[in-house]
Protein backbone atom coordinates (compact mmCIF):
# COMPACT_ATOMS: atom_id res chain seq x y z
CA UNK A 1 0.00 0.00 0.00
CA UNK A 2 2.86 2.36 0.79
CA UNK A 3 4.40 1.70 -2.63
CA UNK A 4 1.08 2.40 -4.37
CA UNK A 5 0.81 5.66 -2.41
CA UNK A 6 4.25 6.60 -3.79
CA UNK A 7 2.94 5.93 -7.34
CA UNK A 8 4.83 2.70 -7.91
CA UNK A 9 3.18 0.32 -10.34
CA UNK A 10 2.20 -2.57 -8.06
CA UNK A 11 0.27 -5.70 -9.04
CA UNK A 12 -1.06 -7.84 -6.22
CA UNK A 13 -2.22 -11.42 -6.70
CA UNK A 14 -4.98 -13.09 -4.76
CA UNK A 15 -4.12 -16.33 -3.04
CA UNK A 16 -6.19 -18.85 -1.14
CA UNK A 17 -5.67 -17.04 2.18
CA UNK A 18 -6.83 -13.70 0.77
CA UNK A 19 -9.89 -15.44 -0.69
CA UNK A 20 -10.57 -17.14 2.65
CA UNK A 21 -10.39 -13.74 4.38
CA UNK A 22 -12.87 -12.26 1.89
CA UNK A 23 -15.17 -15.28 2.27
CA UNK A 24 -14.87 -15.18 6.09
CA UNK A 25 -16.82 -11.94 6.09
CA UNK A 26 -19.83 -14.03 5.03
CA UNK A 27 -19.62 -15.99 8.30
CA UNK A 28 -20.45 -19.65 8.86
CA UNK A 29 -18.13 -22.39 7.65
CA UNK A 30 -16.11 -19.92 5.53
CA UNK A 31 -15.21 -18.00 8.69
CA UNK A 32 -14.23 -21.20 10.50
CA UNK A 33 -12.07 -22.36 7.55
CA UNK A 34 -10.20 -19.06 7.54
CA UNK A 35 -9.71 -19.12 11.30
CA UNK A 36 -8.24 -22.64 11.07
CA UNK A 37 -5.84 -21.43 8.35
CA UNK A 38 -4.20 -18.46 10.01
CA UNK A 39 -7.14 -16.10 10.39
CA UNK A 40 -6.56 -15.64 14.11
CA UNK A 41 -2.95 -14.55 13.46
CA UNK A 42 -4.10 -12.13 10.79
CA UNK A 43 -6.72 -10.59 13.06
CA UNK A 44 -4.20 -10.28 15.89
CA UNK A 45 -1.67 -8.60 13.58
CA UNK A 46 -4.29 -5.97 12.67
CA UNK A 47 -5.42 -5.59 16.29
CA UNK A 48 -9.02 -6.58 15.55
CA UNK A 49 -11.27 -9.52 16.43
CA UNK A 50 -13.29 -9.84 13.21
CA UNK A 51 -12.54 -9.43 9.49
CA UNK A 52 -15.35 -6.84 9.37
CA UNK A 53 -13.30 -4.66 11.75
CA UNK A 54 -10.41 -4.35 9.29
CA UNK A 55 -9.81 -0.79 8.18
CA UNK A 56 -11.61 -0.07 4.89
CA UNK A 57 -8.30 0.51 3.07
CA UNK A 58 -7.27 -3.10 3.80
CA UNK A 59 -10.65 -4.51 2.86
CA UNK A 60 -10.45 -2.58 -0.41
CA UNK A 61 -6.90 -3.81 -0.95
CA UNK A 62 -7.81 -7.50 -0.50
CA UNK A 63 -10.94 -7.19 -2.65
CA UNK A 64 -8.86 -5.53 -5.39
CA UNK A 65 -6.28 -8.29 -5.71
CA UNK A 66 -6.10 -9.98 -9.11
CA UNK A 67 -6.35 -13.70 -9.80
CA UNK A 68 -3.56 -13.56 -12.37
CA UNK A 69 -1.24 -11.20 -14.16
CA UNK A 70 0.08 -11.75 -17.67
CA UNK A 71 2.79 -10.18 -19.75
CA UNK A 72 4.67 -10.89 -22.94
CA UNK A 73 7.07 -13.24 -21.15
CA UNK A 74 5.15 -14.44 -18.09
CA UNK A 75 1.97 -15.50 -16.36
CA UNK A 76 1.82 -15.03 -12.59
CA UNK A 77 -0.72 -16.78 -10.37
CA UNK A 78 -0.85 -17.85 -6.75
CA UNK A 79 -1.07 -21.65 -7.00
CA UNK A 80 -0.95 -22.63 -10.66
CA UNK A 81 -3.17 -23.32 -13.64
CA UNK A 82 -5.42 -26.22 -14.54
CA UNK A 83 -4.33 -26.81 -18.11
CA UNK A 84 -7.12 -29.38 -18.54
CA UNK A 85 -9.75 -26.64 -18.20
CA UNK A 86 -11.22 -25.17 -21.39
CA UNK A 87 -9.79 -21.80 -20.30
CA UNK A 88 -7.31 -22.12 -17.41
CA UNK A 89 -7.80 -18.43 -16.54
CA UNK A 90 -11.48 -19.07 -15.78
CA UNK A 91 -10.74 -21.87 -13.28
CA UNK A 92 -10.35 -19.56 -10.29
CA UNK A 93 -10.47 -22.43 -7.80
CA UNK A 94 -7.33 -23.92 -9.38
CA UNK A 95 -5.60 -20.54 -9.57
CA UNK A 96 -6.02 -20.33 -5.79
CA UNK A 97 -5.60 -23.96 -4.69
CA UNK A 98 -4.10 -26.34 -7.30
CA UNK A 99 -1.01 -28.41 -6.49
CA UNK A 100 0.94 -30.85 -8.64
CA UNK A 101 -0.33 -29.71 -12.03
CA UNK A 102 1.10 -30.73 -15.41
CA UNK A 103 2.37 -27.78 -17.46
CA UNK A 104 1.11 -27.30 -21.02
CA UNK A 105 3.99 -25.62 -22.85
CA UNK A 106 1.76 -25.00 -25.88
CA UNK A 107 -0.62 -22.94 -23.74
CA UNK A 108 2.27 -21.00 -22.22
CA UNK A 109 3.60 -20.26 -25.71
CA UNK A 110 7.10 -19.40 -24.46
CA UNK A 111 5.92 -17.58 -21.34
CA UNK A 112 7.11 -18.51 -17.88
CA UNK A 113 4.42 -19.46 -15.34
CA UNK A 114 5.42 -18.05 -11.95
CA UNK A 115 3.52 -19.47 -8.99
CA UNK A 116 3.75 -20.45 -5.35
CA UNK A 117 1.27 -22.00 -2.89
CA UNK A 118 3.30 -25.18 -2.37
CA UNK A 119 6.35 -24.48 -0.19
CA UNK A 120 9.60 -26.01 -1.42
CA UNK A 121 13.18 -25.76 -0.10
CA UNK A 122 15.30 -22.80 -1.17
CA UNK A 123 17.81 -25.01 -3.00
CA UNK A 124 15.02 -26.58 -5.06
CA UNK A 125 13.74 -23.12 -5.97
CA UNK A 126 17.18 -21.93 -7.03
CA UNK A 127 17.87 -25.05 -9.12
CA UNK A 128 14.65 -24.93 -11.19
CA UNK A 129 15.06 -24.57 -14.94
CA UNK A 130 13.73 -21.17 -15.97
CA UNK A 131 11.23 -22.52 -18.46
CA UNK A 132 7.67 -23.75 -18.26
CA UNK A 133 6.75 -23.10 -14.63
CA UNK A 134 8.69 -22.04 -11.57
CA UNK A 135 7.56 -22.25 -7.96
CA UNK A 136 8.77 -19.34 -5.81
CA UNK A 137 7.17 -20.42 -2.50
CA UNK A 138 10.06 -20.64 -0.03
CA UNK A 139 7.79 -21.40 2.91
CA UNK A 140 8.38 -18.04 4.59
CA UNK A 141 6.00 -18.98 7.40
CA UNK A 142 7.84 -22.25 8.12
CA UNK A 143 11.10 -20.72 9.37
CA UNK A 144 11.60 -23.53 11.90
CA UNK A 145 11.80 -26.18 9.15
CA UNK A 146 15.16 -26.84 7.47
CA UNK A 147 15.56 -25.03 4.13
CA UNK A 148 12.27 -23.15 4.62
CA UNK A 149 11.55 -19.70 5.98
CA UNK A 150 12.38 -17.68 2.86
CA UNK A 151 10.53 -14.99 0.98
CA UNK A 152 11.33 -15.41 -2.71
CA UNK A 153 10.79 -13.10 -5.67
CA UNK A 154 11.74 -13.52 -9.30
CA UNK A 155 13.21 -10.62 -11.23
CA UNK A 156 11.89 -11.11 -14.75
CA UNK A 157 14.27 -8.74 -16.52
CA UNK A 158 17.33 -10.53 -15.17
CA UNK A 159 15.68 -13.96 -14.84
CA UNK A 160 17.03 -14.12 -11.32
CA UNK A 161 15.67 -15.25 -7.96
CA UNK A 162 15.80 -12.88 -4.99
CA UNK A 163 15.72 -14.59 -1.58
CA UNK A 164 15.26 -13.01 1.85
CA UNK A 165 15.24 -14.98 5.10
CA UNK A 166 12.26 -14.62 7.42
CA UNK A 167 13.41 -12.40 10.29
CA UNK A 168 10.23 -12.71 12.36
Q: What pLDDT, on a 0 to 100 scale, did the predictor assign at position 108?
A: 98
Q: What is the pLDDT of residues 4-24, one digit of tens each?
A: 999 999 999 999 999 999 999
Task: Identify the segments of the chain with pLDDT beneath 70.
Answer: none
Strands (E), the chain: 68-70, 74-77, 112-115, 133-135, 150-155, 160-165
| Model confidence, pTM | 0.93
Contact between 115 and 67 under an 8 Å Cβ cutoff? The reply is: no
Q: What pLDDT, on a 0 to 100 scale, did the predictor assign at position 168?
A: 72
Dihedral of CA 92/97/103/109: which sign? positive
Angstrom distance (rounded) from CA 124 to CA 98 = 19
Measure CA 110 to chain center.
22
Contact between 151 and 163 under an 8 Å Cβ cutoff? The reply is: yes
Contact between 131 and 54 under an 8 Å Cβ cutoff? The reply is: no
Amino acid sequence: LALKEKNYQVYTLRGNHEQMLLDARLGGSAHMLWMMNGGEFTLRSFGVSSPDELDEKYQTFFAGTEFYQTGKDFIAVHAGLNFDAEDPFNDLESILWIRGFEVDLNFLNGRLLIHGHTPIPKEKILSQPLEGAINIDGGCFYQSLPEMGHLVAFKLEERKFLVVDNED
